[in-house]
Chain A
Amino acid sequence: GDSVTQMEGPVTLSEEAFLTINCTYTATGYPSLFWYVQYPGEGLQLLLKATKADDKGSNKGFEATYRKETTSFHLEKGSVQVSDSAVYFCASRSPYSGGGADGLTFGKGTHLIIQP
């Protein structure tokens, strides 16, 4: 079945540092790819998405590019802030339905801590 693997955390950085959170996927066909962010005690918010190869999703200074050749969707930000501290989830969704496959497949999440 589909799976998503992302780097384990916690990841601790200083404010204004460069951020990369790695994400790779396995899926049938070409899935849509998403990054979600979760703040403590809350639900998930969509950060960005890409639905086909070479698409770049971007939002709030975060970027991720859909790389079919490496089956990756790494999240990057050039200069992080304390307010970026949260848990980040990479997720995929296959275009093929059936057999319980119609939800998102999530990675385990990466806890990001930004220190002032």
Chain B
Amino acid sequence: DGGITQSPKYLFRKEGQNVTLSCEQNLNHDAMYWYRQDPGQGLRLIYYSQIVNDFQKGDIAEGYSVSREKKESFPLTVTSAQKNPTAFYLCASSVQGIATDEQFFGPGTRLTVL
């Protein structure tokens, strides 16, 4: 079955540590995205990538970093510079990065900073 996988489902981190969230898709999509969801809030865009080896900052990129070395993978690193990293993180992909494309979402990773 084609889809998007995110791992791990739950992640705990101590303050001051970097942590990397995995996102893999086998849909052969060009574009991939990372969103952050906080309770009672909509999703906010962290980073997006329309093609391999290229990515752009979204609305809340500070304290995060990404890479796109392979078409199917778009890992997100939450660095110690992110002031409030506890949240639900969702990865998505679309065929291309155009406005009419549906975005397909993974099941999410819940990050808790202890």
Contacts and interface: CB of A to CB of B under 8 A. Distances in A.
**Contact count band on B:** 20 to 34
B56 A51 contact: no
A91 B100 CA distance: 12
A44 B90 contact: yes
B103 to A, nearest CB: 6
Given A34-B102, A44-B105, A108-B41, A103 B90 contact: no
B74 interface: no
Interface residues of A, dominant DSSP: loop
Contacts, number: 69
B107 interface: yes
B23 to A, nearest CB: 11
B75 interface: no
A31 B102 CA distance: 13
A107 B42 contact: yes
A91 B105 CA distance: 14
Interface string A39-63: 0011111100101000000000000
A91 B33 CA distance: 15
A112 interface: no
